[in-house]
Structure 1
């Protein structure tokens, strides 16, 4: 006499595990796909700020311009800031302050990295120019949460990045007149 219940149990386990396996594969694929950075709007430049993991994991790197918070960078996070062409000065501060001056040009994307170095009481932020190669070489970067962004203009929100990547909205053609005149 054969007992068939184990075969049913195996099928049930395989059926239950399939969605989890698919989700794990999708997550792994997302990790391996490069981050899409849209082109800056015409006549403007942009800066991609990022923070690799490492020392000072619990210390944020709050990027400010003209005394206003643009966004905070936690470990493994990035944000994109569209900027008018010209000189921009960004500061980061904990127990020490560091400043980065960048000359932004129209239609250009620049990169800046913020790392946390050893400090006396708390980590010291270090903001510096970076390259796209450094940005692309940093594993598992994710866009900062909207809650970490400053209150005003500056860091692009996820929906703004998605819209920029989608391209310009199609131009609707004017409808043809219903009664053409001879």
Structure 2
């Protein structure tokens, strides 16, 4: 994990490997800005301006978490998949930097 550009905030969105929902991937956005597609065992990283940002994902339903970002700060969101009627539903959870560092180590960049 690396620090953001000076004055920016850095967001890591990651998903640990799991058999549950392994074949499901979903788009992740910061507000209306696409960050990328999160896959099983993957992570995304983006620099954002300081302020409050809604991080969201959608399959058959939309889920989101809103976080306050401070300059030169790193925030982490853990993504996972829950059961849905037709397709798995995204779950997003803000986690501590310590938990993120421990869990993101086993993931690869989602391209």
TM-score with structure 1 length normalisation? Answer: 0.56
SS at match of 2:24: coil
RMSD (Å) for aligned C-alpha atoms? 1.4
Stretches (4+) displaced over 4 A: none
1:80 and 2:45 correspond: yes
Counterpart selection for 1:60 from 9, 15, 25? 25
If asked which structure has higher relative contact order (CA below 8 Å, sep 6+), I would say: 2
1:45 and 2:1 correspond: no
When Rg is computed on C-alpha atoms for both structures, the one with the higher figure is: 1
Aligned to 1:123: 88
Q: 2: distance between equivalents of 1:85 and 1:93?
A: 24
Structure 1 residue 144: deviation in Å?
1.5
Structure with the higher fraction of residues in strand conformation = 2
Structure 1 residue 117: deviation in Å?
0.6
Q: 1: distance between equivalents of 2:76 and 2:41?
A: 15
Unpaired runs of at least 5, structure 2: none
